[in-house]
Amino acid sequence: MVQELGVALSGGLIAGLITATAGFVGHFLTWRSTQRTLQSNQEIEDRRAQAEALDSYLNEMSKLAPDLPEDDRDDNNWTKEQKRAVQLAQARTMTILLSVTQDRKRIPLTLVRQMNLITAHSGYSSPLVYLKHASLDHANLNNFTLSGVDLRGVDLRAADLRGADLRGSILAEANLMGADLRGTVMGNDPDNDPGGADLRGADLRDADLRDADLRGAHLEGATGVTNEKLKQQARSLEGAIMPNGRRYED
């Protein structure tokens, strides 16, 4: 009798545990499904917000375009409207680069490049839109064309720049720590030579420079990289000014 009671109690306990466990699992699966739905809805909302922000930026820049100065680099000659347009273009661009995701940062960059707002100029004069400290960290810019632009002082930490065209660009004092520069073209092109990239004082700690074309690039004062590492990783260093200020010699 006692034994039968024990078996009955044990069986009842086990059944209760199974029921409780099943209930817990059911609640957990429901909770997880709800979380996935919420996450999916949030992602959709984020994408919609990003698209709206970019659309607003493009419209605003289109309205500013007629008032932006074209060839005159001397702001002393600008009208009040031109000065205001440049200030707004700068503010709008810095804001949109800070707010959009890594995969969308190339959209505003393409626009300001096509509008010649970030064109690199001889004599080291500033571009119309000065992107120093702009948020391009972790940006997806692989195979992107940024030749002849002024990106001095830009935050490009851990950016994906694989295969990007940076010939003739100014990247002086840019933060390229951990950037993926594999196959990046920063050197002279015999057929279309805008000059090597200016990397003076750039932070190249942990940057991956394997197969990078650095012909004619100016690397004087660049930190986090040695002459030996450059020789081991770069595809070409012909005519480059090395971090120690000396021209590369085979």
Q: How does residue 193 score in pLDDT terms, banded at 50, 70 and 90?
A: low
Rg (CA), the chain: 28
pLDDT at 14: 61
Tracing tokens 């935050």 back to the chain, one arrives at: 155
Cβ atoms of 150 and 127 closer than 8 Å: yes
pLDDT per position as a tens digit, 225-239: 999 999 999 999 999
Q: Pick left, alpha or beta for residue 188 (phi over 0 → left; psi -120 to 50 → alpha; otherwise beta).
A: beta
pLDDT at 76: 83
Residues 170-190 have a mean pLDDT of 91
Q: Which two tokens stand for residue 155?
A: 């935050």
Distance CA(226)–CA(247), nearest Å, equals 14
Write down the pTM of the prediction.
0.79
Round the average pLDDT of the chain to a whole number and report it.
86
- Phi, psi angles (nearest 5°) of residue 212: -75, 140
Q: Which two tokens stand for residue 219?
A: 């690397």
Distance CA(166)–CA(194), nearest Å, equals 10
Q: How does residue 5 score in pLDDT terms, banded at 50, 70 and 90?
A: very low
Q: What is the CA angle 58-111-185, rounded to 5?
A: 155
pLDDT at 223 over 70: yes
57-79 as b/e, with b when 16 or more CB fall inside 10 Å? Answer: beeebeebeebbbeeeeeeeebe
Q: How does residue 98 score in pLDDT terms, banded at 50, 70 and 90?
A: very high
In terms of Cα–Cα distance, which of 104, 102, 108, 131 is closest to 118? 131
pLDDT at 17: 57
Distance CA(153)–CA(172), nearest Å, equals 6
Q: Which two tokens stand for residue 78?
A: 């600008």
pLDDT at 147 over 50: yes
pLDDT per position as a tens digit, 23-76: 666 676 676 777 677 667 777 888 888 889 999 999 999 999 999 998 667 788
Of 112 and 193, the one with more pLDDT: 112
For 6, residues 6+ apart whose C-beta sits below 8 A from its C-beta are none
